[in-house]
Structure 1
Amino acid sequence: MAARHVLPLLSRWSCRVFSVELDGAASYFALGEGREAEAPRLFARLLGAEQRCYSLLVRSAHCVRGARFYAQLRDTLLRELPRDCHLAPMCSFLPEERGSLMRGYFLEDRSESPSRTRAPPGGLAQQQRDALLVCSYRPDRDDRHWTQHVWSRDGGDRVETGTGLFVVSSEAPQNHPATLNIVNSDVFYTYQDARDVLTQCVDVFPEASSVLELLPSGAPSCVPPQFPVIVVEGLDATGKTTLTESLRDALGAALLRSPPPALAPWRARFDQEPPVIRRAFYAVGNYVTAEEVGRRAAKTPVIVDDFWHSTAAYAIATAVPGRRRNLPDEGSEVYRWPSDLLRPSLVVVLTLDPQEERRRLRDRGQEETEEEQELDTNQLFRLRVEEAYRRISGPACVAVDASPPADQLLQQVLLLIQAKHPKW
């Protein structure tokens, strides 16, 4: 990226806020032309130390390649950097501007060197040159204030720009910065947006072509079907399988699952990919399921095991770290139902005490998925998933305690269905 190509990117650079995850908490800073009396907390602890600091932010117009590069960047850094370098997750964003988030890492180089202005160690100047934006940070002459310098490419090498902007303190935003990129990055709200991501995957890994061949050319009809469509959501071991099969038998209904069996051969492959690719795969799976739901519900009731609510709830909870208060505000657009996706007439989410859930998994001898392992070990993640379920609207979930015996649980859900469809 030559210096002349950096200028358009940096035209609003001084308006950006930067966040570094330090010791389990986010430290925010911004850029300015003047000095503050004290350096921001992130840098104040470094004053007087013989260290070099860098930010490495991923930017790419190709969302699939950019996402894969970001996923590979940490492994590259850990492999190539000296042991005395400290790495912390960071991001940069324009406040309140959707889609402006850039992710990367903040690097403290503690290796011995007489210069604080050398290029980042480990050969990073050669890593994905056009996708990696490198900045360095160093104190000024009085050793009290820090400046940020953007590195551009001069020929084949990166060089530090001469004039830097002062690093100044910044307040934490009202919403966690990760919320800025949820729409069409972690959660998809139209069939075409999700399909477009898989189309970008074709020139990256061949399995995407096989999936695209199975997809409809456009979103299936979302006209309300004649018969009831009941979705059952819930974490593993809450009794979804038993309940959905019992509902099928009790109502003479069809039973469908999302992702559908047609996409099952590629599920494990897409689970290995970064979130934007993985979520796009599950999103199109909902539309394929919806197409079959529409056909079946013209003749009979339909029970669906997992649908859009679980896809969205897990994606939101994974994208936004920390406590529940970091989630997008209740009523945010991220909780809205896709306008082109068939709406079920009732969505039941089964809830269960975590200890009881673990006991059931042990009794069944079932291995947990990666996200279920995260739920098991990270209570904050579990709380975020549960809260995201609660906030999704259009339709909202009806929470049902899954601890009673299976026959009692079935009767409870049948009463909910009867209340929703008294004439059916």
Structure 2
Amino acid sequence: MAFASRPSAQLLFRRLSRQLCQRRGACERTMTPDRCFALELPDCTLAHFTLRAGAPGNPQEACQHPRLAAILGSPGRSYSLCVPVAPEADYAARVRAAKLHQRLLHQLRGGPFQLCQLRRLLSYSPGGQPGSSQHGFLLRDPRDCLETRRALIELLGAFKETLHPHLGEFETDPHGQLWQRLWTLQDGECLEVGCALVIPTQEPPLHPVLPDLPSSVVFPNREAARAVLEACTSFIPEAQVVLDLVDQCPKQVQKGKFPVIAIEGLDATGKTTVTQSVSDSMKAVLLKSPPSCVAQWREIFDDEPTIIRRAFYALGNYIVASEIAKESTQSPVIVDRYWHSTATYGLATEISGGLQHLPPVHHHIYQWPKDLLKPDLVLLLTVSPEERVHRIASRGMEKTREEAELEANNVFRQKVEVSYQRMENPSCHMVDASPSKEKVLQTVLSLIKNNCH
């Protein structure tokens, strides 16, 4: 690409190359010294490291994490791209950062980067303060191709906004030390603004993104989710319609005298069949989340970053809650998916790594929102992964992006299932949906009879 009234990409590349050859001792300690990074490895473990200014030539400072050194060091070359941090309470900034992250992902998956390996990278403050995490990527070029570096410089120049990714480049020196150089684009020129040693560090007790989840994925109340969609109205017109529908719903609603049963489960576990059969057997009203008044826009919001997608589904739950409050005064209510679905998919998406990195049992993130009408019983339908895949194939079901991820990514599916099992207040009652429809219906009706008055 060419920059309007800016130095050409070739000139930027030559300047960058000259700077790379400068003596390391000239590097200034301009990086934040207490930032840590979590890199997702191929086996879904996380490798944590920090950055520290140091003098070259000390073998004791060499990276002692062999897998980390193999991914970040030579042969080949690795680059980090992180989206600048957005304050916890600034939802508009969080939405902009999420859109930038999504745009960056799309660009790094194609063009000159197709032969590179892409991994999730999280930058965070070791203190675990909310609003400190930065989402990004580790781009590994096994060929150490000049075109890759040139394309990254052009990529930085393409971001005209004030908010643009931070670019880091990893190098191994003759002493075996692993360095990260930090670059930024200023007045059309790629400048080095930091240089530090890569030092492995201990994994924190909890996943570093956890403090940010209540303001980005698992919203603790209606207002938090509403603030996100409010920041989207300028580029998603349907967001304003959703907000108007939410604002028509009372903020505090009470359940009627009849029982409310939420039925959860992955696609192809039999939810549609079971919810309809139970509704018919109990002469109950059948509701769905998201409700029909907003479900028509699912495809639009499913294409958006996680923070926007989860806010849409969260507000759908509050609209359904208003319908539940009304209908449960007259008859039992069956709800096809509710808050647990919104939370579990959000956790599985945002928590990088494997099952071991999910929040521990009894963590407050698994608690039902205090301002959302609570069902009397939540049933979780389960089938084996093989049976679920068979059912999907036989029905030719149309899949959302997250549902496609369930099929393609076994770890993602497991994180969704385990998150369901850890939900509390109310927790999920497991139901094996593998037997015949009649058997499953009998089991479900028995559970309702034993747990609902």
- TM-score bracket, normalised by the shorter chain, equals 0.7 to 0.9
Equivalent residues of 1:229, 1:303 under 8 A apart: yes
Aligned to 1:402: 433
Distance (Å, rounded) in 1 between the aligned partners of 2:449 and 2:37: 52
How far is 1:81 from its partner?
4.2
Residues 1:357 and 1:257: Cα distance change in structure 2 (over 3 Å): same
Equivalent residues of 2:274, 2:441 under 8 A apart: yes
Equivalent residues of 1:80, 1:122 under 8 A apart: no
For 1:248-267, what aligned pairs fall within 5 Å after superposition? 248-267=279-298
2:190 is matched by which residue type in structure 1?
Answer: R
SS in 2 for 1:183: helix
* Residue number among 242, 246, 259 corresponding to 1:211 in the alignment: 242
Residues 1:339 and 1:152: Cα distance change in structure 2 (over 3 Å): same
Aligned to 1:15: 34
Equivalent residues of 1:252, 1:301 under 8 A apart: yes
2:79 is aligned with 1:54: yes
Equivalent residues of 2:254, 2:373 under 8 A apart: yes
2:188 is aligned with 1:188: no
1:211 is matched by which residue type in structure 2?
Answer: V
Equivalent residues of 2:83, 2:165 under 8 A apart: yes
How far is 1:194 from its partner?
0.7
Distance (Å, rounded) in 2 between the aligned partners of 1:118 and 1:362: 43
Aligned to 2:180: 148
For 1:7-406, what aligned pairs fall within 5 Å after superposition? 13-24=32-43, 25-34=45-54, 36-39=60-63, 40-41=65-66, 44-45=69-70, 49=74, 53-59=78-84, 61=86, 62-79=93-110, 81=112, 87-95=118-126, 96-108=128-140, 111=144, 120-127=152-159, 128-139=161-172, 143-152=175-184, 154-161=186-193, 164-216=195-247, 220-406=251-437
Size of the aligned set, in residue pairs, is 409
Deviations 1:57-93 (A, max 9, x none): 1025411121111111023234464677654331111
Equivalent residues of 1:38, 1:44 under 8 A apart: no
Which deviates more, 10-19 or 333-342? 10-19
Unaligned 5+ segments in structure 2 are 1-28, 87-92
Distance (Å, rounded) in 1 between the aligned partners of 2:114 and 2:238: 37
Residues 1:89 and 1:421: Cα distance change in structure 2 (over 3 Å): closer
The sequence identity of aligned pairs, in percent, is 38
Equivalent residues of 1:64, 1:277 under 8 A apart: yes
Deviations 1:282-312 (A, max 9, x none): 0000000001101111222111111011111
Equivalent residues of 1:135, 1:149 under 8 A apart: yes
2:120 is matched by which residue type in structure 1?
Answer: P
Equivalent residues of 2:233, 2:239 under 8 A apart: yes
Which deviates more, 45-54 or 279-288? 45-54
Residues 1:257 and 1:122: Cα distance change in structure 2 (over 3 Å): same
Aligned to 1:7: none
Equivalent residues of 1:57, 1:105 under 8 A apart: yes
How far is 1:158 from its partner?
3.4
Deviations 1:207-265 (A, max 9, x none): 32232232225663243432211111112222222222222222221111100000022
SS in 2 for 1:182: helix
Which deviates more, 235-244 or 358-367? 358-367
TM-score (norm 2): 0.81
TM-score (norm 1): 0.86
How far is 1:353 from its partner?
1.8
Residues 1:11 and 1:348: Cα distance change in structure 2 (over 3 Å): farther
Residues 1:181 and 1:327: Cα distance change in structure 2 (over 3 Å): same
